[in-house]
């Protein structure tokens, strides 16, 4: 009786131990899984268009980087637009290798060609590629990351801007919120333009070199533009002797006589240009009126305002003072 009890006990014990071991194994497996999952951080927001673009473009060659890991200041300038039919490779050596494969349809470059040119779409049939074209079309990223249009670049930068690790940018963004300014294309070179003013004089952005510039897109039919123009005029007067250029741009749909009357009414004395082809509105991605860009004395975009802002506001005036003195 006793012995059987003992054996039963032992069996139980052994079974218990087995169970315990199993639980330990399972638990650690669980922990591993848990830890494993934790390293793959979920993106903060995935349902917006910006997030879709970010995932679509930044997931093809490696796991999507969590923006909170990235330093915005560093990465915002590292997103490169492939223009026309340009396609990316990572290094100069890769370019040589891929080019040689496109030229000869054989050799060591084949593996790399498959890897690089097959990561975003199925690798194109190499025999259909014209070697002379591809010499110019292969872009060496050299540490930059590729997107395929300016819109995509803006979406990725916006997404990073919102969720990335912030340094100095944080305070800039905070003050931007106060001022109604945004910093979407921070430090980018603005598209150039050369347009005629109401008197037929040509005004070229290039000629403003060394000055800070406010480029203001507006229309006569736009109610908020009316008030804003008069506050811009006061800035124009205030900074008359400093390195600040203000320029207004209306679209080609405006009647000249309307613009002239409007400008006269408001007492505006800075140049008002007409975008006769619509190209400037397009290149500055003007989606609403008014839209205003601030360009620093170094010729790079500092900020943008979508919608009207009050240029007589003290903070704005101080900000412009800062920009002009920089």
The Cα–Cα gap between 307 and 326 comes to: 26
Asked whether position 216 contacts ligand HEC by CB under 6 A, the answer is: no
Smaller CB separation from ligand HEC, 64 or 317: 64
Tokens of 287: 């989606």
Q: Does 65 bind ligand HEC (CB under 6 A)?
A: yes
The answer to the question of residue 112 lying near ligand HEC (CB under 6 A) is no
Specify the pairing of strand 301-306 against strand 291-295. antiparallel
| Whole-angstrom distance, CA of residue 309 vs CA of residue 312 | 9
CA–CA separation, 41 and 68 (whole Å) = 10
Shortest gap between Cβ of 162 and ligand HEC (angstroms)?
13
Region of 24-32, 141-149, 207-215, 316-324 interacting with ligand HEC (CB under 6 A): 141-149
Q: What angle do CA 166, 169, 170 make, to 5 degrees?
A: 70
Q: What whole-number distance in Å separates Cα of residue 100 and Cα of residue 98?
A: 5
The answer to whether 154 contacts ligand HEC (rule: CB under 6 A) is no
Q: Coil, helix or strand for 258?
A: helix
**Using rule CB under 6 A, residue 278 touches ligand HEC:** no
Q: How far apart are CA 58 and CA 43, in angstroms?
A: 12
**Residue 250 is a binding residue for ligand HEC (CB under 6 A):** no
The single residue among 30, 44, 107, 124 that binds ligand HEC, judged by CB under 6 A, is 124
Contact between 143 and ligand HEC by CB under 6 A: the answer reads yes
Angle at Cα 278 formed by Cα 274 and Cα 279, nearest 5°? 110
Using the contact rule CB under 6 A, the part of the chain among 1-9, 138-146, 185-193, 225-233 near ligand HEC is 138-146
> What contacts 247, CB < 8 A, 6 or more positions away?
203, 213, 214, 215, 216, 270, 271, 272, 273
| Distances, alpha carbon 122 to alpha carbons 119, 132, 291, in Å | 7, 22, 41
Nearer to ligand HEC, 129 or 219 (CB): 129
Residue 128 or 168: the one with the smaller Cβ distance to ligand HEC is: 128
Q: Does position 203 bind ligand HEC by CB under 6 A?
A: no
Q: Please report whether residue 79 would count as binding ligand HEC according to CB under 6 A.
A: yes
Q: Tell whether residue 60 is a contact of ligand HEC (CB under 6 A).
A: yes
Kindly state the smallest distance separating residue 282's Cβ from ligand HEC, in Å.
18
* Cβ at position 85, least distance to ligand HEC in Å: 5
List of residues contacting ligand HEC (CB under 6 A) = 57-58, 60-62, 65, 70, 79, 85, 87-90, 98, 116-117, 119-121, 124, 138, 143, 145-148, 156
């Amino acid at each position: 009786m006793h012995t059987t009890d003992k054996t039963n006990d032992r069996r139980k014990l052994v079974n218990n131990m087995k169970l315990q071991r199993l639980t330990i194994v399972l638990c650690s497996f669980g922990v591993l899984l848990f830890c494993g999952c934790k390293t793959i951080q979920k993106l903060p927001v995935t349902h917006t268009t910006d997030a879709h673009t970010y995932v679509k473009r930044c997931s093809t060659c490696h796991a999507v980087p969590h923006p909170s890991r990235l330093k915005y200041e560093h990465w915002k300038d590292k997103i490169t637009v492939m223009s026309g039919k340009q396609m990316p490779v990572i290094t100069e050596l890769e370019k040589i290798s891929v080019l040689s494969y496109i030229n000869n349809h054989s050799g060591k470059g084949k593996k790399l060609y498959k890897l690089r040119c097959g990561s975003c779409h199925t690798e194109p049939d190499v025999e259909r590629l014209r070697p002379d074209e591809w010499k110019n079309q292969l872009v060496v990223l050299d540490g930059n990351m590729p997107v395929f249009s300016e819109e995509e670049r803006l979406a990725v930068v916006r997404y990073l801007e919102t969720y990335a690790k912030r340094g100095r940018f944080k305070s800039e963004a905070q003050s931007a919120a106060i001022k109604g300014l945004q910093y979407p294309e921070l430090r980018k070179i603005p598209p150039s333009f050369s347009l005629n003013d109401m008197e037929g004089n040509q005004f070229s952005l290039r000629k403003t070199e060394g000055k800070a510039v406010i480029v203001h897109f507006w229309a006569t039919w736009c109610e908020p533009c009316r008030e804003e123009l008069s506050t811009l005029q006061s800035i124009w007067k205030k900074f008359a002797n400093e390195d600040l250029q203000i320029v207004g741009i209306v679209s080609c749909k405006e009647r000249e006589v309307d613009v002239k009357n409007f400008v006269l009414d408001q007492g505006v004395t800075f140049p008002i240009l007409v975008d006769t082809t619509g190209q400037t509105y397009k290149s500055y991605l003007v989606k609403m009126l008014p839209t205003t860009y601030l360009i620093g004395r170094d010729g790079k975009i500092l900020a943008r305002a979508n919608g009207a802002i009050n240029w007589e506001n003290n903070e704005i005036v101080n900000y412009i003072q800062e920009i002009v003195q920089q």
